[in-house]
């Protein structure tokens, strides 16, 4: 799950302020680099010195190795390939792009070979993002709710030890899509998070011994499931109604809303979530009346299909014109005959 | 009968005659076409018989079977006891093993029983095999089974016809078009006509030759030796599968019966049977069709493949090359100096061979089609395009598991091919520069041989490292670019053209000075300049055109896909060229007649004789020009094929000797060592990777030459 509409502003604000803060120090560091003439990558000793001097280049320096797509090892106990790679391009567009690696990974990692082994358990999203100003470095109030919701979710209940934020969200890639991206892109990107495991037996089995549920079978009650999957996020149905729109309380299929009319109605439940901004936009552009008559938001329009709408308008229009014209001609003919 | 009726019946008769002619021609075409084809191209076919093929009595059969079984068992026993240093003890141990019941019962050749039961008492080539193996079951990668006709499967394989008219090449013309892709008119290409010489020329003019040599040992007497491309090919005829180059027609049945099944399938194949024989129809290669060889049939082993393929890996000079030790019972084959790649596949030189792997473990066949992988720089046809043959198939992308630096080493896999670190060097006698136009007298062998001006197996000299995305040009130049993009990396104007290593230049100069003693007309300075920068042969206009084409047509191909750094063996040759067919990337090379070349050392006479071969002449005529040569030359970077035949009124015209305008870059994938290179071999200012020429920015070059991680290491 990711942030949605309500969170956009908050997240953006948080990151913009963080970014401004770091951009300032980064500029200062860049200046220092220019003056000293030493590019960051060549600093070899004295990690303390490096951490002080060179914020912008810390990432560059880490990514020299961690940017290698195949930086990985085979774990001797699990036999699995563990990747330590961070895609520099994806990181650059992620919401954490303005952070330095050492913000989260303490500077023990600056030297090679690294003294301290990476400790994933000590890192959590809530470690930085909370409502409380004092304990939170990058305050995002909604995360408190997210934390509570997550603890009620099927994932946490089934796997309290092994399932954490990073099971779904890679902080090096994580990117909140803005509303402009459009519902299709948002649906695609959010569902991809779920499908990473729910569409891959190996990944699913790596986490749990539960039987790998077939997506097709589980959704066989749903008419044309693939169309639904393209158009709505998994979490629209798999979270209880009424929560915020980044509700992290994922529920099992049995607890899911199966009433078609809950969504397929003018007063659709979806309007409070994914498609809310679309309705708003529509009203701004075409006015309240037009948007009610012919809004393009999926399933809540009159026909679902703008083409059919256009065709029916055309047919009605032609009929009116035809009838009107016919009447007019008859009236004109009669007047001439009279005169 | 009225006038009109008469006219009508006359017309009817005329139509009937035309129809009869058409039907007659159609009915006769299976006979007429091959006759017409042979008359036009000058290739010959005929019944193929072999001395080693004859029937034996039941008693002789059992003797041969017993010899074979005993011999194979003894060989295995000796392998087991090889570790025993004391001769006597080793002998005792071998004897004990040989009389051990379980050992004696193992390792039988199943065909002894099959032949015995079926009453087969002699081997007669494919017809014997096909008695039982008319069809075979072929499994594709998904395990899907398919029944195919065995003979067709072999005949359509690259091992038989060395060409494909279909797509599936990893090669691009210098004009930017993928060979035989959608935007082209498909033409037959492959080893049969790959662009070293007029298409097909060497495979026709140099298929099988008998050479009169005068070795020192013979004290003036003549010794006949065999030479030619046919020695490594499974077809037994008088020429390669020339018929397959045409859009219609097929290889005649009698030629198909010349397929040498046993060279790939017999564990007792005698390479001493491979020599040139001469009969009424012409010259061809003999083969081992003995009953003994036939009884030892199995699926191909590593030894079978290496009978031919060690030649272009380890070379003839490689100590463990089995074929080079069995040159023939008569008309012995001529050994070649220098190695094409110099990376032998054998237990002593390759970790996979040492581990007992066989070729087909990685090159997993589908019937008689054998994949060569999805990457290739040369124009050799591929039976199974798209079928991977790659280290990662077994080793994954995280192959290092022991080293403390394993994570970082695995990180390199994204940019560096395994071969780059794990093939530290090639054999010293790997040939880089070969001059065919200044032959040298070989006292020992008693013949004139081409001269290797420079041999080296060292990184940066005999081979170099280039970006490679799996594709190559028409003349075997690896394509690829620095993943950061840009135009800083430009091998067709740089690494593949210039030899600038001072030690290499010094070695070349020394060799040229040696050559001058025999060829006083050589200008040493000029020769060294041309050999180390063949672009000097291009006019300024040609050079400009070349630079423009590289950026416009080749650069987009270099940027395709994903590039990694691979090692490439470098190779260039000085040969005669038909300058009427010159483009910015080279001119058409002219072939030699081996007998004239080796016997007289008169290179011009040898070339003149070769180009008079009927089919080479036909290449200069309109039908072949239209059918394939124009398209071929387009790939070559030349607008059209000039059919100005280089020989007019007995005089050569427009023929010059030149180095190819760039070195060929040959993939090296064998000769893998367990221990890879050390960090500093690449990451230092004097390392084997020239980062600047590989297209890295100056800052990145500094960083790569001296990474902070290595600051505290040796």
pLDDT tens, position by position, B251-300: 999 999 999 999 999 999 999 999 999 999 999 999 999 999 999 999 99
B484 at A interface, C-beta within 8 A: no
* Residue-level pLDDT at A118: 61
Whether A335 maps to a domain, the answer reads no
Same domain, A79 and A190: yes
When pLDDT is cut at 50, 70 and 90, the band that residue A17 belongs to is very low
Please give the pLDDT value at position A292: 47
Per-residue confidence band for A32, with pLDDT thresholds at 50, 70 and 90:
very low
**Residue A304: per-residue pLDDT:** 52
**pLDDT, average across residues B231-240:** 91
Residues A248 and A297 in one domain: no
A30 pLDDT exceeds 80? no
Report pLDDT for A5.
41
- Please judge whether B407 and A74 are an interchain contact, meaning their C-beta atoms are less than 8 angstroms apart: no
> Which chain A residues touch B if contact means CB-CB below 8 Å?
39, 41-45, 61, 64-65, 68-74, 76, 81, 84-85, 112-113
pLDDT of residue A208: 84
pLDDT at position B16: 83
Specify if A234 maps to a domain: yes
Q: Which of A310, A278, A284, A271 lies closest to A296 in space, CA to CA?
A: A278
Identify the CA nearest to A64 among candidates B596, B700, B25.
B700
Contact A41, A54 (CB under 8 A): no
Residue A287 has pLDDT above 60, yes or no: no
> A160 and A214: one domain?
yes
Same domain, A188 and A283: no
Out of A8-17, A123-132, B139-148, pick the least confident. A8-17
Strand partners, B435: B451, B574
ipTM over 0.90? The verdict is no
Q: What's the rounded Cα separation, in Å, for the pair B321 and B300?
A: 17
Please indicate whether residue B558 or residue A44 has the higher confidence score (pLDDT). Answer: B558
Tell me the chain B residues in contact with residue A65 when contact means C-beta distances shorter than 8 Å: 408, 411, 709
**Residue A301 pLDDT > 70:** no
Point out the least confidently predicted range of A46-50, A80-84, A171-175, A258-262: A46-50
Q: How far is CA B365 from CA A174, A260, B138, B276, in A?
A: 44, 55, 9, 30
Residue B172 has pLDDT above 90, yes or no: yes
Compute the average pLDDT of residues B673-681: 96
Question: B411 and A81: CB-CB below 8 Å?
Answer: no
B108 pLDDT band, cuts 50/70/90, is: confident
The CB-side HSE value for A203 (13 A sphere, CA atoms) comes to 12
**pLDDT at position A47, please?**
38
Q: Are residues A158 and A134 in the same domain?
A: yes
Number of H helices, E strands in chain B: 30, 17
Q: What is the pLDDT of residue B1?
A: 52
> pLDDT band for position A317 (50/70/90)?
very high
The answer for residues whose C-beta is within 8 angstroms of residue B577's C-beta and 6 or more apart is: B586, B587, B588, B589, B590, B655, B656, B657, B658
Cβ contact, residue pair B401, A74, below 8 Å: yes
In the prediction, which pLDDT does B398 show? 93
Cβ(B568)–Cβ(B432) below 8 Å: no
Statement: residue A309 has pLDDT above 90: no
Q: In B, which residues are within 8 Å of A70 by CB distance?
A: 397-398, 410-414
Chain B interface, best mutation among A33, A61, A71, by max B CB count within 10 A: A71
Q: Looking at residue B332, what DSSP letter applies?
A: P
* Residue of chain B whose alpha carbon sits nearest to that of A71: B411
Query: Above 70 in pLDDT, residue A281?
Result: no
Give the pLDDT mean for B601-608.
Answer: 96
Distance CA B174, CA B546 (A): 10
The residue that leads in pLDDT, B533 or A228, is B533
| Residue B331 and residue B272 in contact, taking contact as beta carbons nearer than 8 Å | no
User: How far away is chain B from the Cα of A28, in angstroms, using its nearest Cα?
Assistant: 21
Domain membership flag for residue A330:
no
Average pLDDT over residues B669-691: 96
Tell if the CB–CB gap between A72 and B703 is shorter than 8 Å: no
Residues of B in contact with A69 (CB under 8 A): 414
B18 or B641, greater pLDDT: B641
A29 band by pLDDT with thresholds 50, 70 and 90:
very low
DSSP B579-625: EEEEETTEEEEP---HHHHHHH--HHHHHHHHHTSHHHHHHTSHHHI
Check the CA dihedral A229-A230-A232-A234 and report its sign: positive
pLDDT confidence tier of residue A19, bands split at 50, 70 and 90: very low
Q: What is the mean pLDDT of residues A71-91?
A: 91
Residues A40 and A77 in one domain: yes
* Beta-strand pair B564-583/B431-442: parallel
Nearest to A127 by CA among A144, A110, A107: A144
* Residue A250 predicted with pLDDT over 80: yes
How far is the alpha carbon of A35 from chain B, nearest alpha carbon, in Å? 16
Query: How much of chain B, in percent, has pLDDT values that exceed 70?
Result: 98
Mutation target vs A (from B402, B565, B708, B710; most A CBs, 10 A cutoff): B708
Count of the separate structural domains present in chain A: 2
* Pairwise CA distance, residues B305 & B105, whole Å: 28
Q: Which domain holds residue A291?
A: 275-317
Residue A34 reports pLDDT greater than 90: no
Name the range with the highest mean pLDDT among A122-136, A154-168, B216-230: B216-230
Sequence-ordered list of residues with C-beta below 8 angstroms from that of B585, at least 6 positions apart, any chain: B174, B473, B474, B475, B492, B546, B549, B636, B637, B661, B662
Rounded Cα distance, B609 and B605, in Å? 6
Give A88's contacts in chain B (Cβ within 8 Å): none
The reply to whether A210 and A224 lie within a common domain is: yes
- Residue A135 is predicted with a pLDDT of 75
Judgement on whether residues A146 and A281 belong to the same structural domain of the protein: no
Q: How far is CA B544 from CA B291, B345, B538, B547, in A?
A: 62, 42, 9, 5
Angle (nearest 5°) at CA B76 between B73 and B82: 135
CA nearest B382: which of B369, B396, B392? B369
Q: Are residues A118 and A174 part of one domain?
A: yes
Query: Residue A334 domain-assigned?
Result: no
Question: pLDDT of B335-394, one tens digit each?
Answer: 998 999 999 999 999 999 999 999 999 999 999 999 999 999 998 899 999 999 999 999
> What is the average pLDDT across A234-251?
83
Q: Could you tell me which residue, B205 or B333, shows the higher pLDDT?
A: B333
What is the structure's pLDDT at B366?
95
The mean-pLDDT minimum among A56-60, B543-547, B662-666 falls in A56-60
Distances (CA, A) of B130 to B148, B251, B258, B415, B646: 12, 18, 13, 48, 46
* pLDDT tens profile A5-15: 444 444 444 44
What is the per-residue pLDDT for A37?
34
A166 and A48 share one domain: yes
Residue A116 has what pLDDT? 67
Choose one of A223, A244, A274: the last residue of a domain.
A274
Mean pLDDT over each residue of chain A, to the nearest integer? 74
**Which member of A70, A76, A112 has the closest CB to residue B410?**
A70
The confidence score (pLDDT) of residue A273 equals 64
pTM (2 decimals)? 0.83
> Has residue B181 got a pLDDT over 80?
yes
**At B4, phi and psi to the nearest 5?**
-70, -40
DSSP for B116-162 reads HHHT--S--THHHHHHH-SEEEEE-TT--EEEEEHHHHHHTSHHHH-
Cross-chain CB nearest to A71 (options B410, B708, B709): B410
Average confidence (pLDDT) over B89-105 = 92
Predicted local distance difference test score (pLDDT) of residue A46:
37
The DSSP result for B333-387, as a single string, is BPPPSSBSS----STTT-HHHHTT--HHHHS--BTTB----S--SS----SSTT-
Per DSSP, the residues of B466-530 read EEE-S-EETT--B----TT-SSS--GGGTTTT----HHHHHHHHHHHHHHHHH-TT--HHHHHHH
A231 shares its domain with A242: yes
Contacts of residue A86 in chain B, CB cutoff 8 Å? none
- Mean pLDDT (whole number) for B35-64: 94
Same domain flag for A310 and A253? no
Question: Which band of pLDDT confidence, cut at 50, 70 and 90, is reported for residue B2?
Answer: low
**Tens-place pLDDT, residues A156-212:** 999 988 888 888 999 999 888 776 777 788 888 889 999 999 988 888 888 888 888
Taking alpha carbons only, the member of A63, A150, A129 closest to residue A102 is A63
Residue of A nearest to B713 (CA): A112
- Out of A124-133, B191-200, B400-409, B618-627, least confident range: B191-200
> Is A336 contained in some domain?
no
Q: Is the pLDDT of residue A99 over 50?
A: yes
Assess contact for B340 and B571: CB atoms under 8 A: yes
């Amino acid at each position: 799950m990711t942030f949605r509409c309500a969170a956009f502003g908050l997240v953006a604000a948080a990151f913009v302020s963080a970014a401004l803060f770091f951009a300032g120090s980064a500029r200062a560091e860049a200046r220092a680099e220019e003056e000293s003439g030493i590019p960051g990558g060549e600093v070899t000793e004295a990690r303390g010195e490096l951490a002080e001097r060179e914020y912008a280049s810390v990432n560059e320096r880490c990514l020299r190795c961690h940017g290698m797509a195949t930086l990985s090892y085979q774990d001797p106990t699990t036999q699995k390939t563990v990747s330590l790679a961070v895609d520099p391009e994806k990181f650059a567009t992620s919401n954490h792009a303005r952070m330095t690696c050492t913000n989260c990974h303490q500077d023990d990692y600056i030297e090679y070979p690294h003294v301290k082994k990476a400790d994933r358990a000590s890192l959590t999203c809530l470690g930085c993002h909370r409502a409380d100003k004092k304990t939170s470095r990058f305050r995002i109030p909604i995360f408190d709710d997210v934390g509570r919701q997550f603890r009620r979710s099927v994932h946490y209940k089934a796997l309290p030890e092994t399932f954490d934020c990073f099971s779904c969200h890679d902080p090096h890639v994580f990117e909140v899509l803005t509303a402009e991206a459009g519902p299709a892109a948002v649906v695609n990107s959010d569902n991809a998070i779920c499908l990473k495991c729910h569409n891959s037996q190996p990944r699913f089995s790596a986490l749990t011994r539960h039987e790998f549920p077939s997506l097709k079978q589980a959704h066989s009650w749903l008419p044309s499931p693939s169309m639904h999957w393209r158009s709505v996020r998994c979490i629209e149905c798999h979270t209880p109604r009424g929560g915020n729109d980044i509700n992290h309380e994922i529920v099992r299929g049995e607890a899911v809303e199966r009433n078609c009319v809950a969504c397929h109605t003018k007063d659709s439940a979806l309007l409070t979530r994914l498609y809310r901004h679309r309705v708003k936009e529509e009203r701004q552009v075409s006015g309240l009346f037009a948007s009610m008559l012919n809004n393009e938001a999926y399933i809540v329009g009159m026909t679902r299909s703008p083409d059919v709408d256009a065709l029916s308008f055309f047919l009605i229009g032609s009929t009116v014109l035809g009838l009107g014209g016919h009447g007019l001609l008859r009236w004109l003919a009669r007047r001439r005959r009279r005169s | 009968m009225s006038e009109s009726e008469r006219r009508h019946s006359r017309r009817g008769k005329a139509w009937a005659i035309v129809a009869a002619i058409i039907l007659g021609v159609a009915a006769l075409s299976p006979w007429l076409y091959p006759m017409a084809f042979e008359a036009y191209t000058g290739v010959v076919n005929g019944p193929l018989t072999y001395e080693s093929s004859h029937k034996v009595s039941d008693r002789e059969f059992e003797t041969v079977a017993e010899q074979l079984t005993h011999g194979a068992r003894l060989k295995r026993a000796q392998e087991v006891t090889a570790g025993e240093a004391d001769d006597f003890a080793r002998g005792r141990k071998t004897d004990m093993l040989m009389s051990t019941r379980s050992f004696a019962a193992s390792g039988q050749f199943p065909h002894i029983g099959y032949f015995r039961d079926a009453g087969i008492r002699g081997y007669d080539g494919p017809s014997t095999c096909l008695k039982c193996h008319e069809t075979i079951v072929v499994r594709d990668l998904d395990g899907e089974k398919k029944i195919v006709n065995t003979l067709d499967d072999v005949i359509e394989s690259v091992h038989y016809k060395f060409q494909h008219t279909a797509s599936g090449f990893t090669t691009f013309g210098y004009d930017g078009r993928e060979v035989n892709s959608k935007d082209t008119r498909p033409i037959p290409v492959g080893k049969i006509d790959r662009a070293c010489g007029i298409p097909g020329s060497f495979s026709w003019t140099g298929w099988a030759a008998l050479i009169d040599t005068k070795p020192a040992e013979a004290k003036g007497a003549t010794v006949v030796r065999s030479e030619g491309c046919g020695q490594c090919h499974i077809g037994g005829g008088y020429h390669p599968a020339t018929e397959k180059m045409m859009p219609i027609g097929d290889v005649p049945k009698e030629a198909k019966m010349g397929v040498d099944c046993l060279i790939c399938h017999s564990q007792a194949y005698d390479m001493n049977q491979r020599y040139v024989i001469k009969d009424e129809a012409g010259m061809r290669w003999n083969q081992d069709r003995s009953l003994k060889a036939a009884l030892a049939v199995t699926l191909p082993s590593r030894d079978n493949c290496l009978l031919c393929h060690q030649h272009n890996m380890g070379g003839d000079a490689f100590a463990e090359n089995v074929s080079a030790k069995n040159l023939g019972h008569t008309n012995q084959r001529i050994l070649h100096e220098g190695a094409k790649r110099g990376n032998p596949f054998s237990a002593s030189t390759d970790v996979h061979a040492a581990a007992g792997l066989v070729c087909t473990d990685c090159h997993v066949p589908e019937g008689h089609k054998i994949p060569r992988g999805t990457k290739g720089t040369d124009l050799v046809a591929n039976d199974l395009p798209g079928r991977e043959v790659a280290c990662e198939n077994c080793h994954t992308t995280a192959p290092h598991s022991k080293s403390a630096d394993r994570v970082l080493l695995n990180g390199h896999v994204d940019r560096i091919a395994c071969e780059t670190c794990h093939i530290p060097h090639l054999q010293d006698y790997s040939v880089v520069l070969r001059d065919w136009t200044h032959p040298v007298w070989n006292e020992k062998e008693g013949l004139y041989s081409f001269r290797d001006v420079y041999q080296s197996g060292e990184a940066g000299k005999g081979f170099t490292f280039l970006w490679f995305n799996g594709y190559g040009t028409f003349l075997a130049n690896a394509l690829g670019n620095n993943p950061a993009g840009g135009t800083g990396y430009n091998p067709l104007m740089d690494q593949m053209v210039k030899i600038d290593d001072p030690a290499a230049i010094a070695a070349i100069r020394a060799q040229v000075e040696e050559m001058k003693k025999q060829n006083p007309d050589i200008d040493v300075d000029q020769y060294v300049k041309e050999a180390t920068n063949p672009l000097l042969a291009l006019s300024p206009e040609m050079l400009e055109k070349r630079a423009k084409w590289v950026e416009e047509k080749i650069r987009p191909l270099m940027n395709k896909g994903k590039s990694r750094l691979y090692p490439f063996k470098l190779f260039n040759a000085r040969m005669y060229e038909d300058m009427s067919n010159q483009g910015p990337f080279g001119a058409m090379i002219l072939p030699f007649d081996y007998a004239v070349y080796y016997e007289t050392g008169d290179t011009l006479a040898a070339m003149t004789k070769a180009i008079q071969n009927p089919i080479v002449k036909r290449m200069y005529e309109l039908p072949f020009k239209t059918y394939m040569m124009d398209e071929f030359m387009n790939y070559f970077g030349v607008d059209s094929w000039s059919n100005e035949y280089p020989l007019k009124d007995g005089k050569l015209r427009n023929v010059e000797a030149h180095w190819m305008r760039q070195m060929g870059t040959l993939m090296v994938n064998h000769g893998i060592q367990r221990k890879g290179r050390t960090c500093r071999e690449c990451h230092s200012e004097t390392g084997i990777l020239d980062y600047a020429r590989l297209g890295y920015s100056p800052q990145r070059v500094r960083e790569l030459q001296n990474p902070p991680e290595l600051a505290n290491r040796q």
